[in-house]
Amino acid sequence: MLVREIHAALDGRLNFEILFVDDGSNDTTAAEVLRIRDGSSSPIRLLRHEKCIGQSAGIRTGVRAARAAWIATLDGDGQNDPADLPCLIGALQQHGADGSLKLVMGNRTTRRDTRLRRMSSRIANGIRRAVLHDGTPDTGCGIKLFEREMFLQLPHFNHMHRFLPALVQRAGQRVISVPVNHRPRMRGTSKYGVNNRLWVGIVDLFGVLWLIRRRITPQSVAEECASSRTRSQPREQFTM
């Protein structure tokens, strides 16, 4: 179903490929993806981790293997609506003319989650915004669009996907959010709760704050003009 929805949202608009990252599952996920791949007209690839190592690692695996310059991510539980992908692409085209926009975030204005998940997310988002000042209302939204090269240059650590806007801004790039749909979970069960989402996220938050405060950015860089004697010499092929 997810493949059909992605195909319906993007077919005829642009060239794309679909990557599934199986994070060490012990169910029929891989077999189902392979079955869909063999019967689909869309380019589908399956990447598998030998064991479960987390969502951030799974995202990085997919980004490193991707062939395109821009990446859109979706959670596999069906709560993200692929029909929103053109909205993210349109926002990039509308607001990214100067090249500084590197991340378009989805913002789930109406959540279709349990009360516990909504509460923990609300608290975590409030604390994060107060500490990091990233100006992003919903960093936990799985649907987002970002530049591949920029992403691979960001600090990588477990749970880093929760702090992507702050890390992108730390790199001197721009982030915007657009409203997106959020659907009830169609498959699987959530593995996040208060203990492994809220409290762990707060611990990670101060690590990200440390990264932001420790970043050194030159205010200006100037290169001295070479002398005539230097200009006559052959140009270097490598920088050591």
Please report the domains of the chain, with CATH numbers, ordered by start residue. 2-231 (3.90.550.10)
For CA atoms 92, 93, 95, 97, give the dihedral sign: positive
Which pLDDT band, with edges at 50, 70 and 90, does 195 fall under? low
Does the pLDDT at position 151 exceed 50? yes
| 138-165 average pLDDT score | 95
Residue 215: predicted pLDDT: 85
* Rounded Cα–Cα distance for residues 59 and 18 (Å): 13
| DSSP conformational letter for 103 | E
More confident residue, 195 or 97: 97
* Average pLDDT score over residue span 159-172: 95
Whole-prediction pTM value?
Answer: 0.83
User: Looking at the chain, how many residues does it have?
Assistant: 240
Distance CA(87)–CA(145), nearest Å, equals 10
Query: What pLDDT score does 191 carry?
Result: 58
Query: pLDDT tens-digit profile of 227-239?
Result: 655 555 555 555 4
